Homo-oligomer: A and B are copies of this chain.
Amino acid sequence: MTAEPLGRIHVPAMDEILGRPFQVLDNGFVRVIDYMGSDESIVQAARVSYGTGTKKARQDRTLIRYLIRHHHTTPFEMCELKLHVRVPMDCWRQWIRHRTANVNEYSTRYSIAIDAAQTTTPGGWRFQALSNRQGSSGFLEEAKGIKLSEREHEIQDLARKVYNERLDADVAREQARKDLPLCTYTEAYWKIDLSNLLHFLSLRMEEHAQLEIRLYAETIGNEIVSRWCPLAWEAFNDYRVDAVSFSKDEQALLRVLFREGPSAAVRLAESLGWLPVENGKPSQHFERSEFEQKLGKMGIALPWQTGTP
């Protein structure tokens, strides 16, 4: 392997947005502080593994798509992104669970807490989801929302007053902050490699992720990664975000459906316990519902009656 002189890799589309905040929520943002590498670096690292002889063997796009398709993740670790983010703390609590990142957070032990908490518009209050015990679904009517937003203002206002009273009494900042609302904004530098970033995005852009962090994830993906490593971003969407997976049982159902027809598929589903009946009526079965959605996306007619709950 020759050791040729090198220049640093630059991505002009990234240099253009360096330091520019993309707004998220009422008072949050994401902005790029620095980056290392590009699509080209992924290819460069993959080719270390393959040795010099193969340099022209595949085109870059084909290689990147191959790597994503076959879960060869290490070349994507060769790209690194450093962001400056401003996020409500309850959203940050979810964010920080991703452990393979470097973090420097604004310290409310050292400094006075940022004077901003996430607020909700009267139309922005979400219903508890029925089907998904941990999610939300749809919005409350605005009349109810007005009252809720007033009370939100009231509690945030009192919390800040109490905080300031403590500071005025010379209470330590580390203790004074204890009753600030969970949605008080914090800031952080967050640095992560592209492989782990894509994993973060796949979990946090997903429809079951909480709306707030989903908005951050979508901003990072659509505004930043798409500019930084467009080939990796495209492949990630084609083979991860927009992919669909069939389990062993689902494949068996499809096989029977195609080879033996709908009634055989119904019989198999029954034997798998996928068509439960309660009080004489078909009842809910999560795994079957998920399968029905997948069939719908593929344009395949359901072998059993639609409209089962």
Contacts of A179 in B (CB 8 A): 117, 152, 155-156, 159, 181-183
Report the interface size for chain A: residues with CB under 8 A from the other chain.
Answer: 134
CA–CA, A260 to B39, complex, Å? 37
Point out the residue from B5, B45, B99, B299 that lies within 8 Å of A20, measured CB to CB: B5
Contacts of A104 in B (CB 8 A): 45-46, 48-49, 74-75, 77-78
Within 8 A of B (CB), among A250-290: 251, 254-255, 258-259, 286-287, 290
Task: State whether the Cβ of A309 lies closer than 8 Å to any Cβ in chain B.
Answer: no
Within 8 A of B (CB), among A16-39: 18-21, 29, 31, 33-37
Stretch touching chain B among A166-174, A216-224, A225-233? A166-174
Judging by beta carbons under 8 Å apart, are A188 and B80 in contact? no
Task: State whether the Cβ of A84 lies closer than 8 Å to any Cβ in chain B.
Answer: yes
Contacts of A10 in B (CB 8 A): 8
CA–CA, A92 to B177, complex, Å? 14
Task: State whether the Cβ of A13 lies closer than 8 Å to any Cβ in chain B.
Answer: no
Point out the residue from B1, B36, B74, B105 that lies within 8 Å of A103, measured CB to CB: B74
4 smallest CB-CB distances across A and B, nearest first, come from A6-B19, A51-B111, A136-B172, A77-B102
